[in-house]
Amino acid sequence: MSAAAKFDPGDQARRQALAKVHIAKKDLGLDDDTYRAMLTRITGHASASECTAGQLGKVLDEMKAKGWNAAKPGSGIKAHAASHPSAKKARAMWISLHQLGVVREAGEKALEAFARRQLQVQRLQWADQGLTYKLIEALKAMAVRAGWDQDLTGVGPDNQVRVLKYRLADAQARKLGVLMTPMANLTDRELDAVIRARAEMIWTREGQ
């Protein structure tokens, strides 16, 4: 049988897709557990070698959505900040904990490092959404220990963010030893300004 008769374009496409998946895994910096969890979720297989060309295509589509540049494989990517709802909540809490003087660095890099320890994933954007509650609960525990009440029992959904901001400002006041003035009549912008000003006072006192 000739070499031309043995050529299988379908198998060739599958092998090319498999190679791209392995390159994308490296570029995205995925650890094995995160990578296999992603494969299982998308294809039902824990190994890319068990996937069909179509399944590998779906894996590549997700990797592209997460920032992998298929036009320049092997060149690495610029990591994107996680944007799913739980990540946004975690980011807001992390910044607020910095404003309360609990965490020193407010940036994305510091949050990613904390999330990596809590969730055992390389990047927050790759975290299983069924597990990210652990990150939120860890942040809430830090807040409560610092005097920032997180109990929203009986608080309507439309008012929860503002209530948490009130409580954050009060916790800042207690930490600074200043008068906890009524803030119910402040606009959201004014309340945010109070929180930022108190955060600056806290970190000035801390010597940063």
Report the C-alpha gap between 27 and 106 in whole angstroms: 26
Count of structural domains, the chain: 2
Both 53 and 106 in a single domain?
Answer: no
What number is the average pLDDT over the span 8-28?
80
CB-based contacts of 20, cutoff 8 Å, min separation 6: 56, 60, 70, 73
Question: Residue 153 gets which letter from DSSP?
Answer: T
pLDDT in tens, 44-77: 998 998 999 899 999 988 888 777 777 665 555 4
Q: Which two tokens stand for residue 165?
A: 């901001």
Report the C-alpha gap between 174 and 134 in whole angstroms: 28
Both 124 and 192 in a single domain?
Answer: yes
Question: Residue 86 gets which letter from DSSP?
Answer: H
Q: Please tell me the predicted confidence (pLDDT) of residue 74.
A: 56
- Higher confidence at residue 56 or residue 125? 56
Both 111 and 23 in a single domain?
Answer: no
Find the domain containing 161 and state its range.
85-205
Decide if 78 is inside a domain.
Answer: no
Decide if 79 is inside a domain.
Answer: no
Least confident of 10-14, 145-149, 200-204: 10-14
Strand runs labelled E in 27-100: none
pLDDT in tens, 29-49: 777 877 888 899 899 998 998
Residue (of 136, 138, 157, 152) closest to 89 by Cα position: 136
Q: Which two tokens stand for residue 195?
A: 């929180």
pLDDT in tens, 76-115: 545 555 557 777 888 899 999 999 999 999 888 888 888 8
Is residue 145's pLDDT more than 90?
A: yes
CB-based contacts of 173, cutoff 8 Å, min separation 6: 179, 180, 181, 198
Share of the chain above pLDDT 90, in %: 38
| Confidence at 1, pLDDT banded by 50, 70, 90 | very low
Both 117 and 47 in a single domain?
Answer: no
